[in-house]
Amino acid sequence: MSSRSIAIVGLLATASLAALAAPDDRPGAPAIAWRQHDIQRPKPPVVEPADVPIASRPPADAVILFDGQSLDAWKADRGGPARWKIVDGTLQTVPGAGRIETRREFGDIQLHVEWSAPSPPHGKGQDRGNSGVFLMGEFEVQVLDSYRAETYADGQAGAIYGQYPPLSNPARPPGEWQTYDIAFRRPRFDEGGRLIEPARITVFFNGILVQNAEPPFGRTSWLEWEPYQGRKGVRGPIALQDHDHPVRYRNIWLRELPERMDPSPADLARPKVVALTPATLDRYAGRYRHSTKSDSPPAIIARDGDHLTLRLPSRPRAFRLEPISETEFDMPHTDGRFTFRVDASGKVTGVRFQIADGDREWTRIGR
C-alpha cells in the first residue's frame, strides 16, 4: 500500500471514530463520556482492603431492613411478599423470584449492606455473582463477583452501573462477606419537575472509597442510562436485584438523613447598627492580647470609616466589627460580639470577645 493510500485509510478511520462520538443530547448527559459498557475503559486498580471487623450492631437511629430474622421490610417489586430465602440468618437471592424492594420509600440516606458472592464461583463477566443495590429504586450500585474476575469497568462491583466504574477494586473472594457503605443524596427537582440537582452517590466498598459523590446522569440501566424523570418530593425504595445468581445479603440498615435547615428571617435578625463618631471609634483602635497568654501575638483593631476592623495574627483577612452601641460591636457574618471595657477616665482597657458559646478576654496593650 502506498503512503498516500495509508494516509487515506487513516483519515477514513478518524472520520468513523468522529461519527461514533456524536454529542449525547439526552438531558443530564455529560459533555464527554465513555460509551456505556466500553470494554476499553480502564479497569480500576486492585486494592486489598484493610482487615477491619464488621460492626455487629447498627447505630441506634438505624432503620433495620434485614437483621437475619424476617423479610417484613420487603416486598416483591411485582407485588406480593418478597420470595427470597432466609438461610442461616442471611438473605439469599432466589433466581427467578424477581427483584425485591423495601415497603418504605426513602430519600437521602446512609445505607449499610453486606453481601457475599456465591462460592465456589460460577460463570464469568456479568454472569458471575451478579445482583445490585438500587437506590430510590433507580440507581444501581453493582453487586458482582469482581475478585480476580474481569468484566467491563462500569459493570464491576462498586460501579454505578453503566456510568461510573469504581475508583478501585477492593473485592474480597467469593464466599467472604463484603460491605457497602453508601451515602445517597436524592436528585432535586423544581416545582415544574425540572432537574435542579442530580443525585449524588458515595460508596465505600470494604472500607475503600470507590465512588466519591458522583452524580448519575439519570437512572441506571443496561445498554443505555435513562434521563431523570422529574418528580416532586422524590423518594423511592431500596431494591435488591435478582440476576439469577444466589448472592447472599445480611445486616442491611440505613439512616435517613435530614434536610439542612435554611435560617428563617428571625434566625438572621441581628441588633441594629448605630452610627458612632470617628472620634468614638478611634479610641478603640489599638493592639490587644489574650489576658492570660502574655506571649501570644496581638490582635489589631483599627477604624475603617464607620466601623472597626479586626486583624488576627493567624488570619489573612480583616474582620468587620459594626457598632451596635457605644461600647458593643457585632460581626455581620459570625455569631460574634465585642464589648469594650472603658475605665472611669474614659480610657479603653480591654475587650470581651464572645464567639458563639466561647468567651475570651483581651487586654489592650497599646495603640
Looking up cell 470617628 gives 278
| DSSP structure class, residue 3 | H
Least separation in angstroms between residue 132's CB and Mg ion is 3
Contact window for Mg ion (CB under 5 A) among 124-132, 204-212, 253-261, 308-316: 124-132
Least separation in angstroms between residue 243's CB and Mg ion is 5
Residue 345 CA neighbour count, 13 Å, CB half: 3
Least separation in angstroms between residue 161's CB and Mg ion is 6
Based on the shown chain and the rule CB under 5 A, indicate whether residue 98 belongs to the binding site for Mg ion. Answer: no
Q: Which is nearer to Mg ion, 130 or 179 (CB)?
A: 130
Q: Which is nearer to Mg ion, 107 or 129 (CB)?
A: 129
Q: Which is nearer to Mg ion, 151 or 241 (CB)?
A: 241
- The closest alpha carbon to 184, from 146, 242, 231, 140, belongs to 140
Least separation in angstroms between residue 220's CB and Mg ion is 9
Contact window for Mg ion (CB under 5 A) among 57-65, 131-139, 232-240, 255-263: 131-139
Least separation in angstroms between residue 241's CB and Mg ion is 5
Q: Which is nearer to Mg ion, 143 or 310 (CB)?
A: 143
Contact window for Mg ion (CB under 5 A) among 28-36, 122-130, 177-185, 263-271: 122-130
Q: How many CB atoms lie within 10 A of CB 270?
A: 12
Residue 288's DSSP bridge partners are 299, 364
- The closest alpha carbon to 38, from 151, 149, 118, belongs to 151
Based on the shown chain and the rule CB under 5 A, indicate whether residue 130 belongs to the binding site for Mg ion. Answer: yes
Q: Which is nearer to Mg ion, 146 or 319 (CB)?
A: 146
- The closest alpha carbon to 109, from 220, 252, 227, belongs to 252
Contact window for Mg ion (CB under 5 A) among 49-57, 128-136, 200-208, 304-312: 128-136
Residue 75's DSSP bridge partners are 81, 101
* Three-state DSSP state, 348: strand
Based on the shown chain and the rule CB under 5 A, indicate whether residue 132 belongs to the binding site for Mg ion. Answer: yes
Write a three-state SS string for 127-158. CCCCEEEEECCCEEEEECCCCCCCCCHHHCCC
Based on the shown chain and the rule CB under 5 A, indicate whether residue 129 belongs to the binding site for Mg ion. Answer: no
Least separation in angstroms between residue 208's CB and Mg ion is 20
Q: Which is nearer to Mg ion, 157 or 276 (CB)?
A: 157
- The closest alpha carbon to 142, from 44, 227, 67, belongs to 44
By CB under 5 A, the residues from 202 to 261 that bind Mg ion are 241
Handedness of CA 157, 160, 162, 167 (dihedral sign): negative
Contact window for Mg ion (CB under 5 A) among 108-116, 132-140, 257-265, 266-274: 132-140
Q: Which is nearer to Mg ion, 132 or 158 (CB)?
A: 132
Least separation in angstroms between residue 140's CB and Mg ion is 6
DSSP 182-213: EEEE--EE-TTS-EEE--EEEEEETTEEEEEE
Q: Are 102 and 238 in contact (CB under 8 A)?
A: yes
Q: Are 308 and 321 in contact (CB under 8 A)?
A: yes
Least separation in angstroms between residue 200's CB and Mg ion is 20
Based on the shown chain and the rule CB under 5 A, indicate whether residue 146 belongs to the binding site for Mg ion. Answer: no
Residue 227's DSSP bridge partners are 218
Q: Which is nearer to Mg ion, 102 or 131 (CB)?
A: 131
Q: Which residue sits closest to Mg ion, CB atoms considered?
A: 132
Q: Which is nearer to Mg ion, 236 or 323 (CB)?
A: 236
Handedness of CA 64, 262, 186, 104 (dihedral sign): positive
Q: Residues in the site for Mg ion, rule: CB under 5 A?
A: 130, 132, 241
